[in-house]
Amino acid sequence: MARKIVIDPVTRIEGHLRVTAVVEDGVVTDAWNTTTLFRGFEIFMKNRDPRDIWHFAMRICGVCPTAHGWNGVRASEMAMGVGRMDDATRLVRNMMEASQIAYDHILWFYVLNAFDYVNVPNALRAKPTTPALRAVQDQVRAVVESGQLGPFAGQYWDHPGYKLPPELDLELTAHYLLAIEAQQTANDAGAVIMGGKFPMIMNYAPGGVTQLPPPEQIAFFKSRMTIVKKFIDDIMIPDLLAIAPHYMDLANEGKGHGNYLSWGVLDEKSQDPYDRLFPRGGIFAKDLTDTLGFLSTKPGAAVVPVRKVDPDDTRMFTGHSWFSDGTGNGRHPLEVGQEDIEFTQLAPIDGPELPGEKYDWTQAVRYGNDSLPMEVGPLAQMLVSYGSGRAEARAVVDSTLRAIGAPGKIELLQSDLGRIAARVLKAKINIDNAVRWAEELEALGPKAPVNSMPEVPESGVGKGGWDAPRGALCHWVRIKDHRVDTFSAVPASNWNFSPRDDKGVRGPVEECLVGHTVEDAERPLEILRLVHSFDP
Question: Which residues inside 218-237 make contact with other proteins, applying CB under 8 A?
Answer: 219-220, 227, 230-231, 235
CB of 38 to other proteins, least distance (A): 4
In the complex with other proteins, the residue whose CB is nearer, 62 or 160, is: 62
> 104 near 470, Cβ under 8 Å?
yes
Q: Which of residues 433-452 bind other proteins (CB under 8 A)?
A: 446, 449-451
Q: Which is nearer to other proteins, 29 or 210 (CB)?
A: 210
Residue 212 in contact with other proteins, rule: CB under 8 A? yes
Which span sits near other proteins by CB under 8 A: 54-62, 161-169, 425-433, 458-466? Answer: 54-62
Residue 523 DSSP symbol: S
CA angle 307, 313, 317 (to 5 degrees): 125
- Contacting other proteins within 79-118 (CB under 8 A): 107, 111-112, 115
Q: Which is nearer to other proteins, 389 or 457 (CB)?
A: 457
Minimum CB distance to other proteins smaller for 277 or for 347: 347
Residue 349 main-chain phi, psi, to 5 deg: -70, -45
Nearest distance from residue 495's CB to other proteins, in Å? 18
SS (H, E, C) 191-233: HHHHHCCCCCCCCEECCEECCCCCHHHHHHHHHHHHHHHHHHH
Q: Which of 338, 362, 363, 430 binds other proteins (CB under 8 A)?
A: 338
Contacts of 19 (CB under 8 A, 6+ apart): 6, 7, 8, 10, 31, 32, 33, 34, 513, 527, 531
Query: Pairing between strand 375-376 and 364-367?
Result: unpaired
Find the shortest distance in angstroms from Cβ 42 to other proteins.
9
What kind and span of H or E run contains 458? none
- Residues binding other proteins: number (CB under 8 A): 106
Report CA-CA distances (Å) from 128 to 118, 135, 138.
16, 9, 10
In this chain, which of 144, 241, 295, 453 binds other proteins, going by CB under 8 A? 453
Tell me which residue of 507, 505, 499, 512 sits closest to 419, measured CA to CA.
512
* Residue from 66, 76, 94, 185 binding other proteins (CB under 8 A): 185
How many C-beta atoms surround the C-beta of residue 33 within 10 A? 30
Question: Is 123 among the residues that bind other proteins (CB under 8 A)?
Answer: no
Query: Which residues within the stretch 261-300 sit at the binding site for other proteins (CB under 8 A)?
Result: none
62 binds other proteins (CB under 8 A): yes
146 binds other proteins (CB under 8 A): yes
How far, in Å, are 237, 395, 453 from residue 392 at the CA level?
15, 5, 36
Work out which of 3, 30, 163, 211 binds other proteins, going by CB under 8 A: 211
Among 194, 283, 431, 513, binds other proteins (CB under 8 A): 194
> CB of residue 458 vs other proteins: minimum separation in angstroms?
16
**The one segment of 128-136, 310-318, 494-502, 506-514 that binds other proteins by CB under 8 A:** 128-136
69 binds other proteins per the rule CB under 8 A: no
CA distances from 169 to 116, 126, 242, 243 (A): 12, 8, 11, 10
* DSSP assignment of 241-294: HHHGGGGGGGGGS--TT--EEE--BS--TT--GGGSSB--EEE-HHHHHHS-GG
Amino acid at position 197, single letter:
K
Distance CA 217, CA 224 (A): 10
- In terms of DSSP bridges, do strands 375-376 and 260-262 run parallel, antiparallel, or are they unpaired? parallel
Does 55 participate in binding other proteins (rule CB under 8 A)? yes
Per CB under 8 A, 155 contacts other proteins: yes
Of 4-43, binders to other proteins (CB under 8 A) are 6-16, 36-40, 43
Of residues 384 and 527, the one with the C-beta less far from other proteins: 527
Minimum gap (Å) between residue 108 Cβ and other proteins: 11
User: Mapping DSSP to helix (H, G, I), strand (E, B) and coil, where does residue 372 land?
Assistant: strand
> 231 or 437: whose CB is closer to other proteins?
231
Residue of the chain from 124, 143, 144, 514 that contacts other proteins (CB under 8 A): 143
Q: In what order do the strands lie in the sheet with 17-24?
A: 3-7, 17-24, 27-35
CB of 328 to other proteins, least distance (A): 18
